[in-house]
Each structure stands twice: as structure tokens, then as C-alpha cells.
């Protein structure tokens, strides 16, 4: 098992402009605490506002004067594939970091570590295949080239629940588009960003292209207020995301946000109970329920409420909760004591408002240390209750009965969020018809699918913009329209004559 803070070599340095440097005074240290044992894992150095100034100035200079934005897509792809090669070689360190900091079971973090490089491979291939220039014909004749150019200096702010996956979903397309990037990891999970920085350093990207600034929330705000920053890509809570968006709007900086959710899984009368259980459980148990796209509202036909409640309760009780580094663990701890207190408070509020606690809600008896909680299921929940309105970010499911599909759709849409959702049925035509009526950015039949090669994001207070797919790559570009009398030679159709 990999230890020693994921075998990092520079925990006392910051990665700024492609170099490992001593931090300016005032940043201090970020102490990392194991959520499973409550023991201190170690510490990494924290950035200060002075370090932010240095990183932003370097990124600005590299974008305005350096080679990276002016390289061909093929040349950038070659450099990023070197990063991917080194990241693949660090798979054991990637797996350790997620399990140690967040409590993700090692079986799951190990699987992700094996394909982390796929993010770079995908966006490199996408950019090489599609290019950033498109010939069009203006209405008045002549030629037009619609160009996608890199948006500029980009700040990526990522949460603690899936730190590397979220980081790569931003950094890989941003770099591939030609942006310079400053990564700001969550203070709970800085290791993945530092691992990526070591890979970037070894791959030899140009100076100023990539920096990492581990720090607290105050430094994040200082960073996104910098006039030299052209775009902020943020994933986190809705409250924080609205604040980030308001700062960006005040100076017309570009912004993408992927925020909270309170997603509904609609169970129709023909859905097999095993399909329902198999599709819902990973969404509520994976990452100890700390997923923005979790199916936390389970809408069931009133006539099937008892059957589905019993089946889900049995599945909840069978979950193996424990040490994230044990091979048979299915669910680890919550990330921090404050998160445990938060989930316990929601459990108490659910009971106080009249929901029936079917199972869970307490600490597993065999786990006296760590921030553990049992998988928790409520039944007889009304959609107006707090546990059905607010994002809990824990392994808590609420069963809400409905009388017909029209009512189910109305309940699913009665939320300030719109990130994910699903419908359980054997009828695909019916599933698609339901999907088209739910105001949410992602929807699936008989489970949940998140695929970084396809667009992901939310409606309403679940965010603005999309990540993943061609939409995710284009999100790090600006569109320029260039009118010309004829096509430039490198875009001219084969065999076409160019005017003298």
C-alpha cells in the first residue's frame, strides 16, 4: 500500500509556473486528517495571496507571450500525453490519496486510478480530430472562418469528494484548448493536484502553463477576483457557486459552475424491484453518499411503497461499512466531523418533521473511531420536508410515494436543483418521454450514467454550462468570426484555386 502522503516529493513547496518554489510568508500549512481513524496523515504547505499574485502573473505572461496557446493542437496533445503517461505510472499513489483523504473504498479508488489518464487521451484526440477552425459562407458571399481560441488564464476550483476526477475534467480540456491553468484544490484534498503537478513537471510543459495553489477558501476568493483571470471553472456547493458566479459577473469573466443536486429516481409500476435496488444503491452508498448527483429522492408508486421500502432497507442493512483500505469495504466514512454532524442533524430533522426512519441513522457499533454513519433510509416522506428539499451529502435516501406519473413528474421538478435524475421502467419509449419532461441536465433509464465523453451539468441552481464531451472542450474557448474574400490556404478545399 502506498503511504507517505502519496509519495509526494514536494509537500513543503508550491508548484507555480512549472517550478517547485518556496511559498511566500503567511500561507502556513494544511493539516490532513484521516476520516477513518481521525489521525493526522501529514501536512502540505498552503498558498498565500502573495503566491496567488505570482501564479496569476506567470499564467498571464505565459498566455500572452508564451508558446502554449500558439502551438498546434497536435503539439499540445503530445505534451499532455506525456503528462498522462506519468499519471498512469502513479496509479497506486492516486488510489491511496482518494482513500486516505476522503475514505473512498480502495477497491473503487484503485479502479479509477487505472483510467485517470483517459481524460487526457480523450480530450487530446477530440481536439486533434475536430480542430478549432470552421469554414462558413456568409450571406453576402465570400468566406468566413469561425475560430475557437483559448479563453485565457483559467482557474479551476474543485471539491473534496472526487478531487482528481473533477480536476481532470477541467484541466485536461482547458490545457488542450491552449489555456494556462491555475488549479485550486480543496484544503481537505490537496494531494491529487500535487500529484498532477509532479507529472506536469516531469513532462516538461512550458513555463507558466500550470500552477497548483493548495489553500483555504479566503485565498480562493482572492484568486477569482484577480482581473487577470479570464475564466473560473468551479465545482462545489450551490451557495459557494452563486458567490463565485457573482464575482465573475461583476467583471464579465467567463464562468462554469457544477453545483448541488437533489435528484429524483422515479420508479414506475413495471420496474423489477431488483433493477430498482441495483440502480439506486451505488448512488446513495458510493462515496458515502457525498455525490451531487445522488438519487436521494426515490419516488415510488403508492401501491409499491412497502415492497420497495423493504427491498431497499434490506440492501442498506447489508452494506459493509468500514476501513476504506479493507478489500471488502463497500462504504467508508464521511469526509470530516462537520459532515458527520451535518448528516446527523438532517436525520434528526427528518424524524421531527414526521418521516419514518426505516433503517440506519447512527454510528455502526463496531466503528468507535472515524466519521462513520450507517446507510440511512426514510419512508413516508413528503416533498416539502427538509430532507427532501436540501442536499444532505450523505448516505440518506427518502422514499416519496406518488399516485400517478403526472404527480411523480411534478414532484421531481419541484426542487430548486436540476442536476441528475432517472426513471426505472422496462419501457424505453416511456422512459424517454418521462426524461423529456424532467428539468434536469442528466437523466437515465434504470440507473445513473456519468460519462466524461458526454456533456454533464445542471439546470436551475445546479449550475451553468457543461463539462465533458465537445461541449466541455469548447467551454474553454472564445469564438472569433473572421470574414475574408476567400479561404486561407491551409483551410482551402483540396484543388480549389486561390485568387492571385
What positions carry a catalytic annotation? Answer: 258, 292
Taking the C-alpha atoms of residue 197 and residue 214, their distance in angstroms, rounded to an integer, is: 12
CB environment 166-182: b (16+ within 10 A), e (fewer): bbbbbbbbbbbbbbbbb
- The full 3-state SS of 249-275, as one line of letters, equals HHCCCEEEEECCCCCEEEECCCCCHHH
C-alpha cell recorded at residue 273: 424491484
User: Are 335 and 372 a contacting pair, CB within 8 Å?
Assistant: no
Would you give the DSSP letter of residue 429?
Answer: H
Taking the C-alpha atoms of residue 495 and residue 497, their distance in angstroms, rounded to an integer, is: 6
Taking the C-alpha atoms of residue 29 and residue 158, their distance in angstroms, rounded to an integer, is: 19
What is the distance, to the nearest Å, from the Cα of residue 326 to the centroid of all Cα atoms in its chain?
26
Nearest to 360 by CA among 288, 292, 298: 288
Cβ contacts of 340-345, under 8 Å, gap ≥ 24? 340/371, 340/372, 340/373, 342/392, 342/393, 342/394, 343/373, 343/376, 343/392, 343/393, 343/394, 343/395, 343/396, 344/373
- The full 3-state SS of 125-167, as one line of letters, equals HHHHHHCCEEEECCCCCCEEEEEEEECCEEEEECCCCCHHHHH
Amino acid at each position: 500500500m502506498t503511504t507517505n502522503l502519496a509519495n509526494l516529493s514536494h509537500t513543503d513547496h508550491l508548484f507555480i509556473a512549472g517550478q517547485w518554489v518556496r511559498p511566500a510568508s503567511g500561507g502556513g500549512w494544511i493539516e490532513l486528517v484521516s476520516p477513518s481513524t481521525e489521525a493526522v496523515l501529514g501536512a502540505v504547505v498552503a498558498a498565500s495571496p502573495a503566491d496567488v499574485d505570482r501564479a496569476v502573473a506567470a499564467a498571464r505572461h505565459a498566455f500572452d507571450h508564451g508558446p502554449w496557446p500558439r502551438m498546434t493542437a497536435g503539439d499540445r496533445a503530445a505534451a499532455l500525453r506525456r503528462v498522462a503517461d506519468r499519471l498512469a505510472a502513479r496509479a497506486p499513489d492516486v488510489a491511496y490519496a482518494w482513500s486516505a483523504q476522503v475514505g473512498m473504498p480502495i477497491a473503487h479508488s484503485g479502479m479509477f486510478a487505472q483510467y485517470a489518464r483517459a481524460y487526457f487521451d480523450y480530450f487530446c484526440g477530440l481536439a486533434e480530430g475536430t480542430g478549432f477552425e470552421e469554414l462558413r459562407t456568409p450571406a453576402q458571399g465570400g468566406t468566413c472562418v469561425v475560430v475557437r481560441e483559448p479563453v485565457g488564464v483559467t482557474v479551476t476550483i474543485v471539491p473534496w469528494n472526487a478531487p482528481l476526477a473533477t480536476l481532470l475534467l477541467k484541466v485536461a480540456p482547458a490545457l488542450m484548448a491552449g489555456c494556462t491553468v491555475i488549479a485550486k484544490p480543496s484544503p481537505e484534498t490537496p494531494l491529487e493536484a500535487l500529484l498532477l503537478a509532479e507529472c506536469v513537471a516531469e513532462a516538461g510543459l512550458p513555463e507558466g502553463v500550470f500552477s497548483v495553489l493548495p489553500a483555504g477558501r479566503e485565498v480562493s476568493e482572492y484568486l477569482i477576483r484577480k482581473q487577470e483571470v479570464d475564466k473560473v471553472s468551479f465545482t462545489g456547493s450551490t451557495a459557494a457557486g452563486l458567490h463565485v458566479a457573482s464575482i465573475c459577473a461583476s467583471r464579465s469573466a467567463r464562468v462554469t459552475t457544477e453545483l448541488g443536486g437533489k435528484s429524483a429516481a422515479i420508479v414506475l409500476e413495471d420496474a423489477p424491484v431488483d433493477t430498482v435496488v441495483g440502480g439506486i444503491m451505488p448512488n446513495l452508498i458510493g462515496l458515502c453518499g457525498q455525490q451531487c448527483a445522488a438519487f436521494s429522492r426515490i419516488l415510488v408508486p403508492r401501491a409499491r411503497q412497502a415492497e420497495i421500502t423493504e427491498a431497499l432497507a434490506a440492501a442498506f442493512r447489508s452494506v459493509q461499512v468500514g476501513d476504506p483500505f479493507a478489500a471488502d469495504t463497500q462504504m467508508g466514512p464521511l469526509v470530516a466531523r462537520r459532515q458527520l454532524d451535518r448528516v446527523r442533524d438532517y436525520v434528526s430533522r427528518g424524524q421531527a418533521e414526521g418521516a419514518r426512519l426505516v433503517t440506519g441513522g447512527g454510528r455502526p457499533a463496531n466503528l468507535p473511531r472515524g466519521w462513520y454513519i450507517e446507510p440511512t433510509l426514510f419512508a413516508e416522506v413528503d416533498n416539502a420536508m427538509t430532507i427532501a428539499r436540501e442536499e444532505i451529502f450523505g448516505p440518506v435516501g427518502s422514499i416519496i410515494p406518488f399516485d400517478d406519473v403526472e404527480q411523480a413528474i411534478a414532484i421531481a421538478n419541484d426542487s430548486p436543483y436540476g442536476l441528475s435524475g432517472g426513471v426505472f421502467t422496462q419501457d424505453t419509449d416511456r422512459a424517454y418521454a418521462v426524461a423529456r419532461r424532467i428539468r434536469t441536465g442528466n437523466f437515465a433509464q434504470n440507473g445513473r450514467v456519468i460519462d466524461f465523453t458526454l456533456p454533464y451539468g445542471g439546470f436551475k441552481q445546479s449550475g451553468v454550462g457543461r463539462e465533458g464531451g465537445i461541449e466541455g472542450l469548447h467551454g474553454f474557448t472564445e469564438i472569433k468570426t473572421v470574414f475574408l474574400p476567400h479561404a486561407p490556404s491551409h483551410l482551402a478545399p483540396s484543388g480549389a484555386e486561390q485568387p492571385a
